[in-house]
A = this chain, B = another copy of it.
Amino acid sequence: MSDNVPVYIQIHDEIRRLIEKGQWKIGDRLPSERELAQEFNVSRMTLRQAIQTLADEGIVERKIGSGTYVARRKVQETMAGATSFTDIVMSQGKIPSSRTVSYKMTIPSSSEIEALQLNGHEHILRMERIRYADDEPICVETTSIPYHLIQPLDREDITKSLYRSFEEKTEYRLGKAKQVISAALATERIAELLDVHRASAILVTRQITYLSDGHPFEYVRSQYVGDRFEFMLER
């Protein structure tokens, strides 16, 4: 292991790797703190710090008098860090996928001009996707991005892992995000895309992600099936 990285972080990473590798599955009990401490050759307090970090991240759950278990889902990460649909779904043990319904360079609508603080002469990329968890449609997501920001990215960068590609291939860094959540009834078109009845309850979110310098980066409107998705947050 590398030097000058605290031991408890190294142990945290190792245990997390083992869980991801499948050494322990969801609901499994980990070895006791005393056993793990011996195994990693550290004191129990140090081992506990590693477990504490995992617990803070929602990766494991501790039960007094019983043991430490691989958690069913991460609660905190959902709204805390960079919320990607992929992370949320995977943390619940389901397989995320998506289908791109449309993808085009176009002229912004008035709401896009306002959200992205455009002058009306710039072009944007607008794409619409349906997102699935275990092949069940969960939401329809419309993303709009000023074209000049993502010029160096190709379509695969954008549709596969936008945030990572963007930070890797440009000098920009992402900053805060503002999100508004409301509820509405499904329109005919949305109902069809999501395979629900017309006038089902829909959880609607509109999010603007900003660059670290405060300029808008993307504007995302999502419509989730009300009974297939929940937002979780901790404060």
List chain A positions with a Cβ less than 8 A from chain B.
45, 75, 79-83, 176-185, 199-204, 224, 226-227, 229-235
Contacts and interface: CB of A to CB of B under 8 A. Distances in A.
A90 B26 CA distance: 41
A224 to B, nearest CB: 7
A79 B233 contact: yes
A81 B235 contact: yes
Nearest to A181: B231
A183 to B, nearest CB: 3
A201 B181 contact: no
Contacts of A203: 181-183, 203
A76 to B, nearest CB: 9
Q: Which of A75, A80, A179 has the most CB of B within 10 A?
A: A179
A95 to B, nearest CB: 21
A182 B228 CA distance: 9
Contacts of A182: 203, 226-227, 229-231
Given A202-B183, A202-B201, A226-B184, A176 B234 contact: yes
When A and B form their complex, which 9 residue pairs have the shortest distance between CB atoms, in order from nearest?
A81-B235, A183-B226, A183-B203, A181-B231, A183-B183, A183-B201, A182-B230, A179-B233, A185-B201
